Amino acid sequence: MGKPTGFLEYMQEKSPERSPKERVSDWQEFCLSLSSEQLAKQGARCMDCGTPYCHTGGIIAGLALGCPLSNLIPEWNDLIYHGHWQEALARLHKTNNFPEFTGRVCPAPCEGSCTVGLHDQSVTIKNIECAIVDKGFANGWIRPNPPEFRTGKKVAVVGSGPAGLACAAQLNSVGHSVTVFERADRVGGLLMYGIPNMKLDKEVVDRRVDLLVAEGVTFITNTEVGRDYPADQLLAAFDAVVLCGGATTARELQIPGRESGGIYPAMDFLTANTKSLLDSKLQDGDYISAKDKDVIVIGGGDTGTDCVATSLRHGCRSVTQLEIMSQLGAERAADNPWPQWPKIHRVDYGQAEANAVFGYDPRSYCVMSKGFTADEDGHVQSLRTVEIQWVKQDNGRLTPQEIAGTEKIWPTQLVLLAMGFVGPENNLVNSFGLVQDERTNVAAEYGSYVTNVENVFVAGDMRRGQSLVVWAIHEGRGAARECDRFLSGTTSLP
């Protein structure tokens, strides 16, 4: 513990952000960094608890607490307080292959489980994590570290999102020859095309991918396993296969008028925007534009927020975000105790930007979509909704009940469906003949990651369902460990 009274002497100071009105005019990252001296004080606030829930990564009553990667948070907080940044980086990389990703896009369940947060604002763990790895790259401390020998075993990793990259990095580190297959034209999966540039600059992704290439990992893009590359050929060519294809089947909205033009899954909107931005800085026009349109985003999660922020950068006329659930309170509810992740109302970057541009928070709660209407050309022109209330049934379940007289018509020319994902795509699952669980995810036990097909493992959202980047990295590392055990008879991977 660097400073026993640090949590008493220093207030929480989060990394600053660029002004919302300024940043909506470009696609650069909006989060800035504190100085080394400021970060040292933030590290000094860490109490080095006897039981540090921040790095437990457990589940209580269905809610996560702490870091799924079991990051050694108190250790690197102490190290940066003493100015030992390179040693802090070594401890950080011991449990997390890609802290530059989690330090930017993770919601930081570790901070929700911080003991200081019981009586004050939590330690700014996420900001410190990001600063450590960024300083590591800036100072040349992060260099390729290829394995000293090769085992002669070949592993195919399908999908280059956070789970696939973590799995590939771990397997490569112990000498297996790893080939990662990605159906898109760029490596990164969700990190590349699912998260907008202002949250995660794609140069940050490319920087880590280039490092993996220098360490010996092979990437093959524009190749969809199960379609361009048959599953049986892949199984014949490799000693093991790890599937990390994600949960990319979007939840649909089955209401009248859904077939109208101008209604898109959120990921189609975000992916096309990022690809056009990288290909031509949006000059090719090959994206779904929100310019001068009344945009409605249906869904209140991170993807919905990304749609709001992207629409603002296009120059939309208005943006509305509809959420079927109730607005959360400002404080933890009685059934959401520490050290669980606090389920409280937050204003994310997209809502802050909408408020700066239009003067209001774009979100409306307890709103159920009932139907779309289209113009004479078949393009969406309005959405009909009704307000609801959530009523507890005898079995304890909450069900939505419409409130009479609350119907509303919302003018719109662009609707983005951001209601989450229901599981992996069938083509990849069926091509391998994989068994699925009741939620349509690939059936494999947590901790073993073994599917019903010999030599085939699965990790990440494809196994557990839609989740966080940090959980995907956790699962990719775990699947690598079990794959290595299968190939080698033993393993040294954590």
- Residue 386 pLDDT: 98
pLDDT at 64 over 80: no
DSSP reduced 3-state for 239: coil
- Residue 172 pLDDT: 98
As a 3-state breakdown, the chain gives helix, strand, coil percent values, each rounded to 5, of 35, 20, 45
| Helix locations, 330-448, DSSP H | 349-358, 426-432
- The conformation of residue 197, written as its DSSP 8-state character, comes to T
How much is the average pLDDT of 35-55?
90
Share of the chain above pLDDT 90, in %: 91
Q: What average pLDDT is seen over the chain? A: 95
What CA–CA distance (Å, rounded) separates 463 from 109?
Answer: 21
Higher-confidence position of 340 and 277: 277
At residue 14's C-alpha, the angle toward residues 8 and 16, to 5°, is 145
- What domains, with CATH codes, occur in the chain? 6-138 (1.10.1060.10), 154-248+422-488 (3.50.50.60), 252-419 (3.50.50.60)
How much is the average pLDDT of 171-200?
98
Token pair 């609350």: residue = 406
